[in-house]
Structure 1
């Protein structure tokens, strides 16, 4: 977390950050490792079953569409003159024949759709039957010579005790595994070894800061001088002489400009802490510097005091100067302030 930023970045208030990272206790770690060890037998059993289960043929099924199974875009086109009630090409007799043709075509489409649905159901039933047969075959194989062969390999791999060289020696010297046509058995042995030597994956409990728009440091009061948070945009706008509520997106876009800064001069880092002179690096007040003469943080024309970012693990403390002689950064009334004697605020950075 703590390293000197060489590019521009945003600052945001993060008072919800924990004081320290959450860590698993030794009892919690032991429980996770025990559960992982207990699951290894089941994983090996599943591996054996997969090895002995015949592949089931998969059939792609395309359900029928309202317009027929042959094409989802099959349409019945009618003469555009009919929609205007114009009789032609045989008058009412032609219209009657056209109507009968449409009915016949629609009936044919319904039959094709029904046939396609029946075929799909038949294919699904066939797949289910083949899957049941494959599972029955796998069960017989697991209880037969093939299953015994794989379980012998499992026992030998477990006997290697996680020693890779011992496993290689077993593969070289075993009369079954060393044969040219036994690559599948050698691969199986290595798969079992991977399961046996795997370790429990511990959850990542590290705090992950999440920047909120309202907590982001922005220019305040519609100027390029004051800095703070909770800079709320207008809620009402005028349209055709009437006041209407702005959307959430419009309100966010109407907020003060986000402050982007960089270490413009005097950059340093040590033991995870770093600092230097902060310079504005966004369109608003670009090139100015961040400083405070009376505590309230503003942009100024020239360099003032350097700042120090102290890495607290889950957040930063930002000080004007340093802890020995300076003042910590806080949020007071939604404005940034270097406040001597105050409890340091919690801040984090974002640079996309």
Structure 2
């Protein structure tokens, strides 16, 4: 039961029902997770053996590196420069424009300048991402697989085999295996590797969280509209402007479209996620008044009117004057709230206040 004040916002795009995974989708996710375990274990072994597999890298990656470097150094260059032009601009910035002093320099000075330029060129060239082809990556993977499967990887493969052995039925059995197999203090790296493999082998697939999470905006929030305390709706500006003749521009009028905050103040009930009762305004605008309607239009009034029911539809709420059997659903009509005599109930969501 909501014991604190809450605001209401229109949520027309809320799904009719929460999306869930069917059995086939769950099976596919779990199968992909199981299939990926071998790759993750192989990656662990390569890490232990100091084997690195490069990623494909092209001249585009070098250009991106030079772009980032140029921006960090405040290098000026023409629009859409080539890789060579960007390289030259960065080099010129690094050497403080040393190249322009070559002309007219004596032999000894020119030699020193050229030496410095050659050194900085080699240094910058060495910083660029190395170009790696798909063929090189494929060859590196094959060579790594051969090393892992060979004598160098034997100790790691044996630990993997033992972790996957049927005799390791639970964590206690695995602990006993480590305790009796790797007793020495200097074998901690082997025990750590075993734990990492055990974590992969026993891991379960993580299913995606498909829960719908409403997102409130200023425009979707129910507010007092038109600077009046008896009109409620959405798409109300948080502050209003008026035209200033002297300044010939719009200025803040001082009027505010306050957010409507309410609470169940009388006749409260709750069952299976649904709840209801008489709604009372708790914000400064129209504080203490009761939510009801006049000719269907929702507005605060001094006397207590009909109760309101909030039906929990999962991703959203339907709000009804009275209830579904005897009342009318809340809708948004021309950006104003109305309990309609007919039509599809609107979709709304709620946000609790931090204060009661």
Question: Normalization by structure 1: what TM-score?
Answer: 0.69
Contact 1:331 1:337 in 2 (8 A): yes
Bigger Rg, structure 1 or 2: 1
For residues 303 and 49 of structure 1, what CA distance do their matches in structure 2 show? 73
Residue 215 of structure 1 corresponds to: 220
Residue 197 of structure 2 corresponds to: 192
1:60-101 CA-partner distances (Å, limit 9, x unpaired)? xxx7957x99xx9x9xxxxxxxxxxxxxxxxxxxxxxxxxxx
The CA RMSD measured in Å over matched residues stands at 4.5
Residue 269 of structure 1 corresponds to: 270
How far off its partner does 1:36 sit?
A: 1.0
SS at match of 2:32: helix
How far off its partner does 1:316 sit?
A: 0.5
1:22-73 CA-partner distances (Å, limit 9, x unpaired)? 1111111111111111111111000100111179xxxxxxx7957x99xx9x
For residues 52 and 274 of structure 1, what CA distance do their matches in structure 2 show? 62
Alpha-carbon spacing, 1:193–1:212, altered in 2? closer, same or farther (3 Å): same
SS at match of 1:200: coil
How far off its partner does 1:112 sit?
A: 7.3
Contact 2:240 2:255 in 1 (8 A): no
For residues 110 and 290 of structure 1, what CA distance do their matches in structure 2 show? 84
Residue 172 of structure 1 corresponds to: 179
188-197 or 260-269, which deviates more: 260-269
How far off its partner does 1:241 sit?
A: 4.4
SS at match of 1:304: coil
Q: Which runs of 5+ in 1 are unaligned?
A: 56-62, 75-107
Residue 349 of structure 1 pairs with residue 350 of structure 2 = yes
Q: Which of residues 5, 10, 15 is equivalent to 2:12?
A: 15
How far off its partner does 1:137 sit?
A: 11
Q: Which of residues 226, 231, 243 is equivalent to 2:236?
A: 231
Contact 1:53 1:135 in 2 (8 A): no
For residues 228 and 113 of structure 2, what CA distance do their matches in structure 1 show? 69
Question: Normalization by structure 2: what TM-score?
Answer: 0.68
Contact 2:316 2:348 in 1 (8 A): yes
Q: Which runs of 5+ in 2 are unaligned?
A: 53-68, 76-89, 97-111
Residue 164 of structure 2 corresponds to: 158
